Structure 1
């Protein structure tokens, strides 16, 4: 049985933020439909990796390569990456004052549909899909007509990110602490949506410290990022070990 080619392939990625090198050398593969959990202490570079792959202009790639679906990801701007099927949820989703949530998501969705050579959705059809998805995620329908994230609680912001994910159905989703600020029902909604999209072929890179969520997601691979490098590669046992001992102990050298 042949192994499918990686959807995302990163090799020796080195990233600077201002004058500081945050990622020193990161390499990883993400297969279609797979799920990779990324763990690491605060400041280890987890969010930097996601923002770099998504094309944030403040994160400068000093060296290395990244291929997405056989294309040079680093040669694309942020909009091209999104249209190609890459999705990023923010650790702290920002407000977008004056832009209604439903218009924002429909505009993004139609840009992706255009890239897929699919017909755009009109407002009526989109609202039907958006209302159904919002109900499943426990997001009040009234949120669709409000400015993006303005006045939303932390949990509502994260559910709104899930709504975007559910409607955009990307090829690869980078979820940066999507469970942060979520209640029990919100975490359950994360797991259910990820399982549904994985079954449809979406791949995931999930940043999380929450062992119960990680165990529920059943990742294919768990990576520990330390000082801008992948320090450990494993499975659920790696996540469980980190949960038991913490990152400081995980980073200690093993005695001979």
Structure 2
């Protein structure tokens, strides 16, 4: 199928000899927003790191297919060049490297094209205005002294600059106030189009007040056990995971 972006087939992943993903299946088409929800320890972040190619997460079975090609053997940098982006739950602080320098270097690395300084400054300014980020942030060291909200907005800024085919947002909304969640959601809505897709991992329904997912998936004990629409997230918000877990265990 030409519109298919990502297929995950029976994915089993170990970390430190413990199986975390236990036969996970998922398909994502271009133009779609998918939400992954689930209790702590179910495998949500493991899925994100496995898709990005973190070396500590060992694929022991199954396959990750991006645009018809297996990426199981690709390193993280090659996956990035193939169009996968992961925003971090806890972004690192990097003293001595400004936001602008980092983003320009990252764009050059991923695209394979040297970014001309003035043209990049113009692009960066446009994206920062969209995210309601002050222009002086570009000259600050990456995430150093940033508030939680500023760090998360910076991840969305990075996504919008790099323009990946598949953006994976790992709890980008955690610890944010309502205004910051709205700005992050607005960045997601501006980013999505018919050529790319977004996978959002979240614990919270607040973000879903601002973005409209195509699918909501419940990930428990290493497998996606239920898929639905926004109503599934509302059910979880109202009743928690116990009813779904009970049905699955039966």
Fold shared by both chains (TM-score > 0.5): yes
Which deviations, in whole Å up to 9, do the C-alpha atoms of 1:220-241 show, x marking residues without a partner?
1111000111111111111111
Task: Provide the alpha-carbon RMSD of the alignment.
Answer: 1.8
Q: Does 1:224 align with 2:222?
A: no
Question: Where has structure 1 moved over 4 Å in runs of 4 or more?
Answer: none
Q: How does 1:102-251 map onto structure 2 within 5 Å?
A: 102-114=100-112, 119-199=113-193, 201-251=195-245
SS of corresponding position for 2:190? helix
Q: TM-score, normalised by structure 2?
A: 0.94
Given candidates 5, 10, 13, the residue that maps to 1:12 is 10
Equivalent residue, structure 2, for 1:84: 82
- The separation in 1 between residues aligned to 2:79 and 2:178, in whole angstroms, is 32
Query: Which string of whole-angstrom CA distances, capped at 9 and with x for unpartnered residues, describes residues 20-53 of structure 1?
Result: 1111111100001111100000111101100110
Q: Which moved more, 1:222-231 or 1:120-129?
A: 120-129
Q: 1:254 to 1:25 in 2, by over 3 A?
A: closer
Gaps of 5+ in 1: none
Whether contact under 8 Å (2:225, 2:248) holds in the other structure is no
Is there any run of 5+ residues in structure 2 with no aligned partner, and where? Answer: none
CA deviations over 1:192-228 (Å, ceiling 9, x no partner): 2222222352201111122232243211111100011
Partner of 1:46: 44
Question: So what's the TM-score if we normalise by structure 1?
Answer: 0.92
Q: Residue 225 of structure 1 contacts residue 231 of structure 1 at CA under 8 Å; is this kept in 2?
A: yes
